[in-house]
Structure 1
């Protein structure tokens, strides 16, 4: 390793020290590799509880994708239950003892998994399916008729997007994600009434995810004008949603005894927690603290998850190339979805190449201090998607690896 130039005091000094600790902790390991700072992870988990205002937190498994860390956060006060992303995953988490309360966050058309769920009374009592239309009920009945299965637990997905000009999901102005067709309280109540009249189902929950608030940072770096517009939108969207969500809960409760009303995400924990209609809040990304949350004013989690790639080339002055790197986050294809070179400070992706599947060139003053074999530390744009690229996570504290745990991939599980 080449001698490193002296760094100024203050923030740069702390950054250099963090790099040295990570390098020391993983010195015996060959990159590519991923680590989770266990102290930062636990601190983020506790901070989220504090922000929830007494409401229970349900962990979003897609933002973690590591059974050991899901179990760890669920052992902490204030956390209860999992929001899974597929039915197969939910069944696996229940049967492996990770949780006894798994809500599938999205509707399923997995016939084999539905048959598996319907064949097991104990698992059926702990897994809740997400629905937003009668067609999804029809699919379940076609797989296993009501008289041949236990009662299946259901949760309604209420669309939480803001439509200031009115109209349906295809309207001219739709702010938020396009999820459920259930936007009005009346529509939610109508489906609840239909479920109440159909054998083989029991409606136990209602969920609404306000992506235009929870999933949209209000302080995007270098985009002051956009920040002003986002904040204005969020100020107007929130009261509309709280009124509509309360009305929907009231309409649904005319037909079902709801066990929970779920809302929010990491980016809106405090705001969603203040909604009296909500009984629990989903969070997950804030445990790892990916770069997308650097653009939030209300709360920024501590960066806790990182990955290291080795330097394999030095194409010229001010340039190095690392092996791999194309660990792109889902969502719109834009620079914010690319991983960020983090340590050493002073590296950037090339706009003409970006992060590549098999190699990633990096430019900047820090490149000249790196030798072939050195490592560059990155932060992922999102949270759990990092775990799809590695079989294990090294849990670190300071300059030590405390434990190495498998990701879903490391346990041979690929749910999507």
Structure 2
């Protein structure tokens, strides 16, 4: 077991000795180091914090309140969440990352000039404008701010059939972006203020997967070619869209691409969030690996065999492709692993490995989640550890009675 891992385990155990698991903690020392590292990578360009990767209003406020002021604005994941964040005073600049069909929330923002000035809606289809108009026509509402979502996936052969990246916006070419911008500019009641292009195949895909050298080589090749493509198309798209509107921001990137996305001259701001918590999916990156700062503890409740220790719960599976990468990882003690025949279970999780034999009933095992903010859907509060003490306890979104998706 590495000295660093043992030191971390001892520190977390001391800080939380008064707590009964299951519970979740955030190591503020690592959280703040990660925030500073992301700021350095952004090289002077502001970072918009991705709220879905944090899902805790106190920690959103913490990172937005950093002295450097490098973190500005929130990328929300639903319109309802954006409204709540603005009304709660967390931010006065919320970009909703995905289009909405929530008529109730549209009606709310359309009836409130403060919300309309603080929230930007995502658009990639004129039908989304039609839906807004059907809820409240332009003459009965303030201008609503909108952002065009440019598809940043890579099509190496120029055809949609060869699509490397996530399936997001249908707006792929600069010409298509300009055409949509022209439609928005011609519609009453809307103001086009931004362009976003999220290169998920770069920002959200680790280029150093453990034990998979051939896959790593292929990923790096795709990412190099894809980056050249997205820089070219994003630059052209900004030019086309700017013919119809004065853009306030051009957004791109994520935790895995902050440095290279910031280097694109067309970009005015980058987005990051997962890097604050450092979940396991970001262990497979060469350029930068955030320090793990978010953990959850589960108690050992059974010893079904000499080399197996069973903890209560544990089936906190991350979204995405249903594979091993989405499972939580036992982290402390270091030499533990899930059973291949059971994985992480809803009510119990058996663990094996060299350190399993030393675990006793009542001991705790520290896990890391595969994705960042999804951890907060399983707990109502986060215990904030500073050094070897709990410096405070704050509610998650769930703890505040909020479930946005």
Shorter chain as normaliser: what TM range? over 0.9
In structure 1, what is the Cα distance between the partners aligned to 2:357 and 2:3?
A: 18
Indicate the residue corresponding to 1:404 in structure 2: 393
Q: How far 1:313 moved relative to its partner?
A: 0.5
Indicate the residue corresponding to 1:361 in structure 2: 350
Q: How far 1:53 moved relative to its partner?
A: 1.4
Superposition misfits of 4+ residues, deviation over 6 angstroms:
none
Residue correspondence of structure 1 range 295-334 to structure 2 within 5 A: 295-334=284-323
In structure 2, what is the Cα distance between the partners aligned to 1:60 and 1:51?
A: 16
Residue correspondence of structure 1 range 390-401 to structure 2 within 5 A: 390-401=379-390
In structure 2, what is the Cα distance between the partners aligned to 1:363 and 1:316?
A: 10
Q: How far 1:20 moved relative to its partner?
A: 1.2
In structure 1, what is the Cα distance between the partners aligned to 2:7 and 2:175?
A: 57
RMSD after superposition: 0.7
SS of structure 2 residue aligned to 1:241: helix
Q: How far 1:368 moved relative to its partner?
A: 1.2
In structure 1, what is the Cα distance between the partners aligned to 2:11 and 2:157?
A: 53
Contiguous gaps of at least 5 residues in structure 2: none
Q: How far 1:15 moved relative to its partner?
A: 1.7
SS of structure 2 residue aligned to 1:125: helix
Indicate the residue corresponding to 1:162 in structure 2: 154
SS of structure 1 residue aligned to 2:37: helix
In structure 2, what is the Cα distance between the partners aligned to 1:14 and 1:369?
A: 19
In structure 2, what is the Cα distance between the partners aligned to 1:174 and 1:322?
A: 42
Instruction: Indicate yes or no: 2:176 matched with 1:179.
Output: no
Q: How far 1:12 moved relative to its partner?
A: 2.1
Indicate the residue corresponding to 1:46 in structure 2: 36
Indicate the residue corresponding to 1:196 in structure 2: 185
Indicate the residue corresponding to 2:378 in structure 1: 389
Deviations 1:40-63 (A, max 9, x none): 101100100100111110000000
In structure 1, what is the Cα distance between the partners aligned to 2:219 and 2:202?
A: 9
Indicate the residue corresponding to 2:84 in structure 1: 92
In structure 1, what is the Cα distance between the partners aligned to 2:9 and 2:234?
A: 46
Instruction: Indicate yes or no: 2:13 matched with 1:23.
Output: yes
Match of 2:22 among 22, 28, 32: 32
In structure 1, what is the Cα distance between the partners aligned to 2:290 and 2:3?
A: 21
In structure 2, what is the Cα distance between the partners aligned to 1:323 and 1:336?
A: 21
Residue correspondence of structure 1 range 364-375 to structure 2 within 5 A: 364-375=353-364
Indicate the residue corresponding to 1:122 in structure 2: 114
In structure 2, what is the Cα distance between the partners aligned to 1:112 and 1:193?
A: 28
SS of structure 2 residue aligned to 1:386: helix
Match of 1:294 among 283, 286, 306: 283
